[in-house]
């Protein structure tokens, strides 16, 4: 039965069809794009190109990016699950220092993979970059002593459109590599997927 929340004279449904227990865990999400950039090593250390617009936009069909963010974290820290709606962002995630377990969750209502997740290890040494398009929530956990994650966004940060889902929501069942996670109070108190309002979630384009 649907659960309703009343806001003035407006009735808004909260009945979100989360995955059944037999349909949880990681899957292939074909909308994600994984890139491996060359990492040059010598006795001084390493060098790599994080972004080259002429190559990436033309050959890989990525959107134009308008904002760059960087976050420094210690081992065990989880940041996420975050997304924006109705003003969504695509994100190109890179790791400048350390290694992270990077996660994307399909939060598009009507998608066959709604509530399912995929994860990749991104590090300064493997040169991987993950593009997460609009319609997916993003999170990561630092698995090295420290990490510096750099990500490009296809739209500006908008506080009014910022959304979050509980990082350890059992209906999503992300298999975090470090159990004793360090999480902000805001992320720890984020709503579960099943408690999200419909208007907070993107609709699958048809």
- Catalytic amino acids? 82, 151
Alpha-carbon span 37 to 152, nearest angstrom: 16
Q: What are the E-state strand segments in 8-164?
A: 10-13, 33-36, 40-42, 45-47, 67-74, 78-84, 91-97, 99-106, 117-123, 128-132, 136-142, 146-153, 162-164
SS3 state at 39: coil
Q: Return the closest-CA partner of residue 175 out of 133, 139, 124.
A: 139
């Amino acid at each position: 039965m649907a659960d309703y929340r009343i806001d003035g004279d407006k009735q808004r449904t909260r009945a979100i069809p989360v995955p059944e227990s037999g349909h949880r865990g990681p899957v292939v999400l074909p909308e994600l794009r994984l890139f491996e950039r060359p990492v040059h090593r010598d006795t001084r250390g390493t060098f790599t190109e994080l972004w080259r617009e002429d190559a990436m936009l033309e050959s890989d069909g990525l959107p134009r990016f308008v904002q760059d963010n960087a976050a420094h974290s210690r081992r065990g820290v989880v940041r996420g699950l975050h997304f924006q709606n109705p003003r969504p962002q695509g994100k190109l995630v890179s790791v400048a220092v350390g290694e992270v377990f990077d996660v994307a969750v399909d939060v598009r209502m009507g998608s066959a993979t709604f509530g399912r997740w995929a994860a990749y290890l991104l590090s300064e040494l493997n040169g991987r970059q993950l593009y997460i398009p609009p319609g997916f929530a993003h999170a990561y956990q630092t698995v090295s002593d420290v990490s510096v994650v750099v990500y490009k966004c296809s739209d500006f940060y908008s506080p009014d459109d910022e959304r979050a889902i509980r990082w350890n929501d059992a209906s999503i069942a992300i298999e975090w590599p470090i159990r004793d996670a360090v999480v902000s109070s805001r992320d720890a108190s984020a709503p579960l997927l099943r408690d999200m309002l419909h208007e907070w979630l993107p609709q699958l384009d048809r």
